[in-house]
């Protein structure tokens, strides 16, 4: 087969081989019956035909319908229980931001290190990927980890993995995205923790994502309204991340990366109840990379004390 390099991989392969086994049984059963009947009852053979046996009735039909149904439901249950248990993202995961564009992967660490088409991660640490696209739909596919997630423009999608073996593994774009789709590939470099620590010491000259975000927050004028001494009645953003906010049109929304992203690009979309929609759109002003930094900064703001 192929390398199993994540905690998920052996579980997926377990399901895979269970299904291969079941398929082999069914293929052999059907194949032997067809071949057996074909030989035994070939035209002119001496095999006895005569009266049909009594037990071949409607009951047989109902019997194998029920049996097939139960097998199908059983596999569904097997797969679905795994889906619910394995796709929960651990809370302590290290965060990597992924911006896909034709035909390149841009990957950013929380400490501000940027990589193109290569991602360095430590072994044994859960890694959460928060991904968006600048243009068409792409898909982040690492076969050795058995993960794949489409990356969409205008929203964040997430997936996670925990690598188990050092090495370099393929990263593919799996959703067709135009001319150089097949060159939109890269590598995930899984390193032992000590080596990873040495690697990540190198860069970070520009400061962490959050620190860069704080600079952008002022440069782009966000602080003019959302800052401490602002005159415009704009909501304070401190401690906002992770809360549930009432919406002007009724209902609530979880303030997650997706919501913050939308609020910067399309501020009229979901207004928090009690505020007038006066914020201008930053579409074309703040790049996807900028927005990631601003969100990283907003997440560091604790309620009560502004920086």
**Binding to other proteins (CB under 8 A): which residues in 192-221?**
none
Of positions 99, 105, 149, 241, contacts other proteins by CB under 8 A: 149
Nearest approach, Cβ of residue 223 and other proteins (Å): 25
How many other C-beta atoms lie within 10 A of the C-beta of residue 38? Answer: 9
C-beta separation of 92 from 104 below 8 A = no
- Binding other proteins (rule: CB under 8 A), the pick from 2, 116, 248, 273 is 2
Shortest spacing between CB 263 and other proteins, in angstroms: 13
Tokens standing for residue 267:
């501020």
By CB under 8 A, tell whether 290 contacts other proteins.
no
Binding positions for other proteins, 240-279, rule CB under 8 A: 265-266, 269
Q: CA-to-CA distance for 239 and 227, rounded, in angstroms?
A: 13
Measured at the CA of 9, the angle between CA 8 and CA 12, to 5 degrees, comes to 90
Contacts of 25 (CB under 8 A, 6+ apart): none
Range 52-81, binding other proteins (CB under 8 A)? 52, 56, 58, 60-61, 64-65, 68-69, 72-73, 75-76, 78-80
**Contact with other proteins (CB under 8 A): which of 10, 21, 23, 248?**
23
Residues 6+ apart with CB under 8 A from 207: 112
Closest CB to other proteins among residues 13, 111? 13
DSSP annotation of 179 reads T
Binding mask 110-139 for other proteins (x = CB under 8 A): -------------------------xxx-x
**Is 108:209 a contact under the CB 8 Å cutoff?**
yes
Look up residue 5 and give its two tokens. 């390099």
Which member of 119, 120, 121, 141 binds other proteins (CB under 8 A)?
141
Give the x-and-dash track for 30-49 against other proteins (CB under 8 A). Answer: xx-xx--xx--xxxx--x-x
The residue among 185 and 300 lying less far from other proteins, judged by its C-beta, is 185
Using CB under 8 A as the binding rule, the residues of this chain from 166 to 185 that contact other proteins are 170, 172-183, 185
Per-residue DSSP letter, 230: -
- Separation of alpha carbons 129 and 6, rounded Å: 14
Which residues on adjacent β-strands are paired with residue 22?
A: none
- Concatenating the DSSP letter of every residue in 138-176 gives EEEEEGGGTEEEEE-BTS-EEEEEEB-S-EEEEEEE-S-
**By CB under 8 A, is residue 297 in contact with other proteins?**
no
Using the minimum distance from each CB to other proteins, give the nearer residue, 74 or 275. 74
Query: Which of 21, 26, 198, 232: binder of other proteins (CB under 8 A)?
Result: 26
Q: Which two tokens stand for residue 287?
A: 């790049």
Please give the size of the binding site for other proteins, defined by CB under 8 A: 82
Q: Report the residue number, 41 or 275, with the smaller CB distance to other proteins.
A: 41
Q: How many residues comprise the chain?
A: 307
Is residue 28 involved in binding other proteins (CB under 8 A)?
no
Beta bridge partners of 161: 127
* Measured CA distances, 88 to 8, 129, 301 (Å): 11, 13, 26
Q: How far is the CB of 236 from other proteins (least distance, A)?
A: 26
Cβ proximity to other proteins: between 1 and 194 the closer is: 1
Smallest separation, CB 99 to other proteins (Å) = 14
């Amino acid at each position: 087969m192929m390398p199993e390099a994540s905690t998920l991989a052996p579980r997926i392969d377990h399901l895979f081989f269970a299904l291969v086994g079941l398929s082999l049984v069914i293929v052999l059963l059907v194949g032997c019956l067809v071949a057996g009947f074909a030989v035994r009852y070939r035209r002119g053979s001496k095999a006895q035909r005569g009266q049909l046996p009594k037990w071949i009735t409607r009951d047989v039909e109902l019997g194998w319908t029920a049996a097939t149904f139960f097998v199908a439901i059983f596999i569904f249950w097997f797969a679905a229980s795994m889906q619910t248990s394995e796709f929960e993202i651990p809370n302590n995961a290290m965060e990597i931001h992924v911006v896909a564009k034709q035909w390149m992967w841009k990957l950013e660490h929380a400490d501000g290190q940027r990589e193109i088409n290569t991602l360095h991660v430590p072994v044994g640490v859960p890694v959460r990927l928060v991904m968006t696209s600048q243009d068409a739909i792409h898909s982040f596919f690492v076969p050795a980890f058995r993960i794949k997630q489409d990356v969409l423009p205008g929203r964040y999608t997430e997936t996670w993995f925990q690598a188990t073996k050092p090495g370099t593994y393929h990263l593919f774009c799996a959703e067709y995205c135009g001319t150089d789709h097949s060159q939109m590939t890269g590598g995930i470099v899984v390193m032992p923790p000590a080596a990873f620590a040495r690697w990540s010491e190198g860069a970070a000259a520009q400061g962490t994502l959050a620190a860069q975000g704080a600079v952008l927050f002022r440069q782009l004028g966000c602080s003019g309204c959302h800052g401490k001494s602002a005159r415009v009645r704009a909501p304070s953003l401190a401690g906002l991340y992770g809360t549930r906010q009432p919406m002007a049109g009724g209902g609530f929304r979880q303030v997650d990366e997706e919501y913050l992203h939308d609020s910067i690009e399309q501020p009229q979309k979901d207004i928090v109840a009690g505020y007038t929609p006066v914020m201008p759109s930053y579409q074309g002003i703040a790049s996807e990379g900028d927005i990631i930094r601003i969100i990283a900064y907003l997440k560091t703001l604790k309620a009560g004390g502004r920086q």
